[in-house]
Amino acid sequence: MRIAVWGGGSLGLLWSARLASKFDHLLLVTHSERQADAINRAGIDLTNQAGEQKNLKVRAKQADLVMEDAPFDMILVMVKQYHLPVVFALLQKAVHPGTQVLFFQNGWGHQTLLQELSSSCRTYLVVTTEGALKCGDQQVIHTGKGISRVGAFPGKQAEPSPALQELFVKTGPGLFQYDENVLQRVWEKLTINCVINPMTAWYEIRNGELLNPEYEEEKKAILAEVIHVASLEGIQLSEQHMWKQIQQVCLQTAMNLSSMLQDLNNKRVTEIDFMNGAIVRLGKKHRVETPANWLWVSRIQEKEKFML
C-alpha cells in the first residue's frame, strides 16, 4: 500500500515516524523543501513519553514534487485548516477511486471540501486525542497518548474498509478506532476547543489554569452558544456532559499549552476562524446571535495582529 502523510507539523512527524517501518512505500509531504531535505538527510528524531529517543528513516518530498509518487492508496492529511484549500488542488490529482483520504483537522469548515473530493475517492474524518510537539524540522516529542477515531464522511459506513483495517492492524492496538458516528465526535472536540483554545491563548495560561473559578462564567457562555448552534445543525450535545469533558481535559492536560497559544507564541496564524469563527458563521446561517464566540474571535484576531 502506497501511503502519504501530508503535512510536516507535529502530528505529521509523529505518524510518519510510526508508520515508516510498517509500510514499504510511505512518503511524508512537506510544505518546504528545507524540511524535506532535513528529513531525507537525518530522518525523524522521535522522543517518547518516557524521554527515550529514536531516529527513524523517513522519505520526504516538498508538496510541489508529490505527483512524482502519485497516486496514493491512502493519504493522511495533517495540515492546518487554513492550508487545506491550497493542498486540496494537489490532493485531487494524487488519488484514484479506491484511495482512502483521512482528514485530521481540528475545527469546522473543511467538510465541503470532503464532499467535493468524495466523488473521486473515499473520504474520512478523524478526531484524535494524540498529543505531539514539534521541536524542529525533523524532531518531535510524543506528549500524550491518545486514540484516533475514524469515520466515513459524507454519509455513513458501518465498517472500516479493508485498507483501513490494514492500517489499524499494522499500527497496533489502541491507536485507531472506527466510529460511524464520527460527526458527533467532531462536534464534541470542536466544543472543547472553542472553550479551551481561545481563553488560554488570550490569557496566556496553561490549560489547567482554566479550572480557576474566575474563568467559569466565560467558559459557560461559550459552551451554551456552541450547544445551541450544534442543535440547529442536527447535533445533540449535553451541556452537562460537555462541561464535565472540558473540566476533565483541563485537568488531564493541566501543564500543556493549547495549540492556539503555541501558534501565537510561535508567530503563526491560529485556527480561530475554524473554531469559534465557525460557530459565529453557523449562528448567522440560522439567524441566532453568538456574542460570546464573536467576542473571542475578535480578541484572538486582535492578538494575531499584535503578535504576528
The domain boundary residue, chosen from 180, 208, 241: 180
Q: Which of 128, 154, 180 is the last residue of a domain?
A: 180
Condensed to tens digits (0 to 9), the pLDDT of residues 146-164 reads 899 999 999 888 899 999 9
The CATH number that applies at residue 72 is 3.40.50.720
pLDDT, position 166? 96
Distance CA 256, CA 146 (A): 15
Same domain, 140 and 227: no
- With helix as H, strand as E and coil as C, how does 26-95 read? EEEEECCHHHHHHHHHHCEEEECCCCCEEEECCEEEEHHHHHHCCCCCEEEECCCHHHHHHHHHHHHHCC
pLDDT at 246: 98
Q: What is the pLDDT of residues 189-246, one digit of tens each?
A: 999 999 999 999 999 999 999 999 999 999 999 999 999 999 999 999 999 999 999 9
- Of 229, 7, 242, give the one whose Cα is nearest residue 108: 229
Which domain covers residue 255, as residue numbers? 184-307
Q: Please indicate, yes or no, whether residues 35 and 72 belong to a single structural domain of this protein.
A: yes
Residue 143's pLDDT is 87
- Structure confidence at residue 157 (pLDDT): 86
Looking at the fold, whether 147 and 203 belong to one and the same domain comes out as no
Residues 95 and 213 in one domain: no
pLDDT tens digits along 85-99: 999 999 999 999 999
189 close to 127: Cβ distance less than 8 angstroms: yes
Q: Which of 180, 201, 229 is at the close of a domain?
A: 180
CATH number at residue 265: 1.10.1040.10
Cα–Cα dist 118/66, whole Å: 20
Residues 173 and 66 in one domain: yes
Domains in the chain: how many in total? 2
Q: In this structure, are 149 and 214 located in the same domain?
A: no
- Helix, strand, or coil here: 129? coil
Confidence (pLDDT) at 96? 97
Quick one: pLDDT at residue 65? 97
pLDDT at residue number 180: 94
Residue 104 confidence (pLDDT):
97
- Give φ, ψ of 286 to 5 degrees: -95, 5
Q: What is the model's pLDDT at position 302?
A: 97
Question: Given this model, what pLDDT does residue 195 score?
Answer: 99
Check whether residue 171 and residue 201 sit in a common domain: no
- Indicate the pTM of the whole model: 0.94
Query: Which of 100, 123, 99, 122 has its CA nearest to residue 111?
Result: 123
224 and 240 in a common domain: yes
pLDDT per residue rounded down to tens, the chain (308 residues)? 999 999 999 999 999 999 999 999 999 999 999 999 999 999 999 999 999 999 999 999 999 999 999 999 999 999 999 999 999 999 999 999 999 999 999 899 898 899 999 999 999 999 999 989 899 999 999 988 889 999 999 988 889 999 999 999 999 999 999 999 999 999 999 999 999 999 999 999 999 999 999 999 999 999 999 999 999 999 999 999 999 999 999 998 898 889 999 999 999 999 999 999 999 999 999 999 999 999 999 999 999 998 87
Confidence (pLDDT) at 308: 74
